Amino acid sequence: MAAAAWASAFLYSLLHTANTFSLPLCHGNALGQFFCEVPHILKLSSCSNSSLRELGLLGVSACLALGCFVFIVFSYVQIFRAVLRIPSGQGRHKAFSTCLPHLAVLSLFLSTAMFAYLKPPSISSPSLDLALSVLYSVVPPGLNPLIYSLRNQELKAAVWTLMTGECQEH
């Protein structure tokens, strides 16, 4: 599954990169934000008739994304079915405490990415675009290690001590 995800991500980025480098830029080459994303590049190449080609790529991308989303939902249904078959309540709790934070991070990623790409251009601003880009590209990868490290009891105790200001001597 990891190899399939890597291969599809490589193919997806290769298609967009090839299309991006073939666009003629009519309005200069300076973007008003840190992230170099497709909608902003299309604004710079608005004098050419490349939007139809980009719409085709976005259609293929939407199909790939929908396929990935369906696969993720199907996987989570199977995981939850397996977890609900665990006989002990403690085992179910441990399994859910692993799955639910990952599902929350995935939901954050998907919702911010969808809003960033599907929002109407009328509410677009450089600061909103930058905030959304950071939310879906920086925060989820940063949260995953934090969530999984919080399962470590020693780290939980250290975080609790920092939050409450209590010092415990051993």
Q: Under DSSP, is residue 47 helix (H, G, I), strand (E, B) or coil? A: coil
Q: Which has the minimum average pLDDT: 10-19, 23-32, 103-112, 158-167? A: 23-32
The crossing angle, in degrees rounded to 10, of helices 51-84 and 89-118 is 170
Q: Which has the minimum average pLDDT: 38-47, 48-57, 77-86, 96-105? A: 38-47
Q: Under DSSP, is residue 24 helix (H, G, I), strand (E, B) or coil? A: coil
Number of domains in the chain: 2
pLDDT of residue 166: 60
CA dihedral 107, 108, 110, 115 (to 10 degrees): 130
Same domain, 81 and 95: no
End residue of a domain, out of 30, 56, 85: 85
Same domain, 117 and 139: yes
pTM comes to 0.57
What tens digit of pLDDT does each residue of 24-75 get?
766 666 666 655 666 666 666 666 566 677 677 778 878 887 887 888 888 8
Give the range of the structural domain holding residue 20, as residue numbers without chain letter: 1-85
Residue 66 amino acid letter: L
Same domain, 15 and 45: yes
150 φ, ψ (degrees, to nearest 5): -70, -10
Same domain, 54 and 39: yes
Percent of the chain at pLDDT > 70 equals 73
